[in-house]
């Protein structure tokens, strides 16, 4: 842990804002893109492209998809079940008689809804709890940390299933299904945000500028929102990208186990894969391959972005540009002790890692 603290202290211990590049060049991802070189830049760019395609597909799904996600027939009659890829159905049809391509495309929307809902809810709850726990400390802090640790260590899918049971009691509408999935995922994510924000808050609380604010007479609320919040949440974009990919995997897992959203309400990749399970044995490959590939590509895109951002934030891992670089950036980006996002599953093991 000594590493990052000294790293932060090294260039004079200024709150880094003063030195940060201004304008669009200072925006989170763009700044890292400019900072990266070689292979790292390649991975970041690849990730950004995949993520971009994902977002665009979700946005323009109605235009891109040849059919509705719940369409079973067109003017020429019923699609038919398990039809092999053809000119009419580029990726074939599912066992339920839906067009695979359309469901893959519409699935991006469902995935995006769930990511946005889950990440927003986790950030709001997790950051708030983290700030309060870290800032005030005491028994509340201890209880929150123990609870968060217990939940964090638990298999997230099982937890999501339990939450799904509670919320999904008969609900399989689009909104109900999405909220159920998003809430299940939120329960898993809150502990992560709580821990990261809490650790940062504890560190920042001891900084001189917080002390001065207190001396001036700023209220706890003002210090928390003005001074601590902005600084404690700097690493969040990184965790968000990694969590977004986890959200998709959890959603797909839930869908695969039958907690998905009904095919008439929305297209969901996990659900389609569950239905394709029996197809595989009879050699029908198109019903499982394409929804699965969609998951892999989206998760990969998000993970590539997240990992690259993380590596760029960690001075030990960042590939240096040759020639005079600006070492000041090191202090700005790598702030969390033990670099918690080195691996999404490495969060609370900063204590022992390395």
Q: Going residue by residue from 162 to 181, which x/- string records binding to other proteins, judged by CB under 8 A?
A: xx-xx--x------------
Quick check: 182 binds other proteins (CB under 8 A)? no
- Which among 202, 214, 193, 170 is positioned nearest to 121, based on CA atoms? 193
Quick check: 345 binds other proteins (CB under 8 A)? yes
Quick check: 6 binds other proteins (CB under 8 A)? yes
DSSP letter, residue 77: E
How many angstroms separate the most distant Cα atoms in the chain?
77
User: If 0-12 CB within 10 Å is exposed, 13-18 middle and 19+ buried, where does residue 134 land?
Assistant: buried
Q: How far is the CB of 343 from other proteins (least distance, A)?
A: 6
- Which among 306, 187, 182 is positioned nearest to 235, based on CA atoms? 306
Of 118-126, 131-139, 156-164, 225-233, the window that binds other proteins (rule: CB under 8 A) is 156-164
Among 90, 136, 154, 209, which residue interacts with other proteins (rule: CB under 8 A)?
Answer: 154
Query: Which residues from 258-317 bind other proteins, rule CB under 8 A?
Result: 258, 270, 273, 276-277, 280-283, 285, 288-289, 292, 295-296, 299-300, 303-304, 307, 315-317
In this structure, are residues 301 and 47 in contact, taking their beta carbons and an 8 Å threshold?
yes
Among 60, 146, 230, 326, which residue interacts with other proteins (rule: CB under 8 A)?
Answer: 146
End-to-end, the C-alpha distance of the chain in Å comes to 9
Choose between 92 and 270: whose C-beta lies nearer to other proteins: 270
User: Within 10 A of 213 (CB to CB), how many other CB atoms are there?
Assistant: 17
In this structure, are residues 17 and 227 in contact, taking their beta carbons and an 8 Å threshold?
no
Quick check: 139 binds other proteins (CB under 8 A)? no
Q: How far is the CB of 213 from other proteins (least distance, A)?
A: 28
In this structure, are residues 287 and 275 in contact, taking their beta carbons and an 8 Å threshold?
yes
Letter string b/e over residues 223-237, b meaning 16 or more CB atoms within 10 A of that residue's CB = bbeebbbebbbbbbe
User: Within 10 A of 30 (CB to CB), how many other CB atoms are there?
Assistant: 13
Compute the CA torsion angle 118, 124, 126, 132 (nearest 10 deg). -170
Quick check: 352 binds other proteins (CB under 8 A)? yes
Q: How far is the CB of 353 from other proteins (least distance, A)?
A: 4
Choose between 10 and 56: whose C-beta lies nearer to other proteins: 10
Quick check: 183 binds other proteins (CB under 8 A)? no
Binding site for other proteins (CB under 8 A): 1-4, 6-7, 10, 38-39, 42-43, 146-147, 149-151, 153-158, 161-163, 165-166, 169, 245, 249, 252-253, 256-258, 270, 273, 276-277, 280-283, 285, 288-289, 292, 295-296, 299-300, 303-304, 307, 315-317, 319, 342-343, 345-346, 349, 351-354
């Amino acid at each position: 842990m000594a590493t990052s603290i000294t790293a932060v202290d090294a260039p004079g211990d200024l709150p880094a804002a003063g030195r940060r590049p201004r304008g669009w060049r200072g925006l989170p991802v763009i700044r890292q893109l400019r900072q990266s070189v070689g292979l790292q830049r390649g991975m970041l760019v690849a990730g950004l492209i995949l993520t971009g395609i994902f977002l665009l597909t979700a946005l323009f799904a109605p235009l891109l998809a040849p059919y509705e996600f719940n369409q079973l027939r067109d003017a020429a009659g019923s699609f038919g079940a398990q039809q092999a890829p053809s000119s009419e159905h580029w990726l074939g049809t599912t066992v339920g008689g839906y067009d695979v391509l359309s469901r893959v495309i519409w699935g991006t929307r469902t995935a995006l809804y769930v990511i946005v809902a889950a990440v927003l809810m986790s950030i709001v709850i997790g950051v708030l709890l983290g700030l309060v726990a870290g800032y005030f400390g005491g028994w509340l802090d201890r209880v929150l940390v123990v609870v968060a640790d217990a939940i964090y260590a638990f298999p997230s899918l099982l937890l999501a299933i339990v939450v799904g049971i509670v919320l999904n009691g008969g609900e399989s509408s689009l909104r109900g299904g999405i909220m159920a999935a998003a809430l299940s995922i939120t329960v898993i994510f809150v502990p992560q945000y709580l821990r990261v924000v809490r650790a940062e808050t504890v560190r920042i609380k001891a900084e001189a500028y917080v002390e001065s604010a207190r001396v001036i007479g700023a209220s706890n609320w003002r210090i928390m929102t003005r001074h601590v919040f902005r600084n404690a949440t700097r690493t969040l974009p990184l965790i968000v990208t990694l969590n977004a990919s986890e959200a998709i995997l959890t959603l797909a897992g839930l869908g695969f186990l039958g907690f998905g959203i009904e095919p008439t309400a929305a297209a969901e990749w996990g659900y389609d894969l569950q239905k394709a399970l029996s197809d595989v044995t009879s050699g029908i490959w198109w019903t499982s391959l394409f929804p699965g590939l969609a998951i892999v590509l989206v998760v990969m895109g998000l993970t590539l972005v997240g990992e690259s951002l993380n590596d760029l934030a960690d001075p030990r891992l960042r590939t240096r540009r040759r020639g005079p670089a600006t070492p000041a950036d090191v202090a700005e980006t790598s702030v969390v002790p033990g670099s918690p996002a080195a691996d999404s599953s490495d969060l609370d093991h900063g204590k022992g890692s390395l």
